[in-house]
């Protein structure tokens, strides 16, 4: 029997290898598994006579695989449609405003799950990013929605935004749901994880740096992108 620590270490190593691929590469790699599974299921069904129950079970398995492929293809479409950062004059989008809007929109979801959202803005200067407002708003919403889906009941989703001399950064931290985490290990491309991939693609296409790490049951995500100075130097 493999010790739990060794199994956890193996899962973490697999996650690290996956994280080194781009979102598009991860999605294409993930699509191969259900496609292969569906092909094998159809080959088995045609291999020889089967009972009615076996045919029904085969159809159920095929439908499950098809549903996984539909979710992956939907995420692939979203990633493929992400526009690159605008050229020329930077487009100033206030990160703080979008964070507060997302918190307001997702508060009912958090309350239903008994997860507290904590937002801290630790900067006196403008948190302006060079990214189209609609694209950044969609990315932030997907990040928070995915994190809430994975967060353990009764815990907190912590968000902190600030800026340095040349960059704006957003840090998120949440406690994983143990049972949900086991499900994710069996199916690493669940809908919340696909949401993270789509948001990652949107942010990286706009020049952001994405860093996600997990330690035991805690998840940390840091997103950093070049800041745009305020025209007046103040908010």
Question: Per-residue pLDDT tens for 92-111?
Answer: 788 889 999 999 999 999 99
Q: Which helix (H) or strand (E) holds 71?
A: helix 52-80
Hey, how many other C-beta atoms are within 10 angstroms of the C-beta on 63? 11
- Residue 180: pLDDT band with limits 50, 70, 90: low
Comparing C-alpha atoms, which of 23, 12, 20 is closest to residue 214?
12
Per-residue pLDDT at 233: 47
- Residue 134: pLDDT band with limits 50, 70, 90: confident
Q: Hey, what domains does the chain have and what are their CATH numbers?
A: 4-80 (no CATH), 92-226 (3.30.565.10)
User: Is there a contact between 217 and 176 (Cβ–Cβ < 8 Å)?
Assistant: yes
Q: What is the mean pLDDT of residues 19-42?
A: 86
**Cβ within 8 Å of residue 21, ≥6 positions away:** 29
Per-residue pLDDT at 234: 47
Question: Could you read off the pLDDT of 156-172 as tens digits, one per residue?
Answer: 999 999 987 788 889 99
User: Is there a contact between 61 and 43 (Cβ–Cβ < 8 Å)?
Assistant: no
Per-residue pLDDT at 4: 45
Q: Give the pTM.
A: 0.76
- How many percent of the chain have pLDDT more than 70? 79
């Amino acid at each position: 029997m493999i010790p739990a620590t060794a199994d956890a270490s193996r899962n973490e190593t697999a996650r690290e290898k996956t994280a080194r691929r781009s979102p598009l590469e991860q999605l294409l790699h993930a699509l191969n598994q259900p496609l292969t599974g569906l092909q094998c299921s159809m080959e088995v069904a045609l291999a020889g006579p089967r009972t009615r129950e076996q045919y029904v079970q085969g159809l159920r398995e095929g439908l499950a695989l098809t549903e996984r492929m539909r979710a992956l293809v939907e995420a692939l479409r979203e990633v493929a449609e992400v526009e690159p950062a605008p050229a020329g004059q930077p487009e100033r989008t206030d990160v703080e405003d979008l964070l507060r809007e997302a918190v307001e929109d997702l508060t009912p979801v958090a309350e239903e799950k008994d997860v507290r959202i904590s937002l801290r803005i630790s900067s006196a200067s403008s948190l302006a990013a060079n990214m189209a407002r609609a694209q950044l708003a969609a990315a932030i919403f997907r990040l928070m929605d995915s994190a809430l889906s994975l967060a353990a009941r009764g815990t907190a989703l912590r968000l902190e935004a600030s800026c340095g001399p040349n960059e704006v950064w957003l840090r998120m931290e949440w406690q994983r749901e143990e049972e949900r985490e086991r499900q994710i290990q069996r199916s690493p491309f669940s809908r919340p994880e696909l949401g993270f991939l789509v948001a990652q693609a949107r942010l990286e296409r706009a020049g952001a740096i994405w860093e996600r790490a997990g330690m035991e049951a805690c998840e940390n995500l840091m997103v950093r992108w070049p800041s745009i100075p305020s025209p007046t130097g103040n908010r």
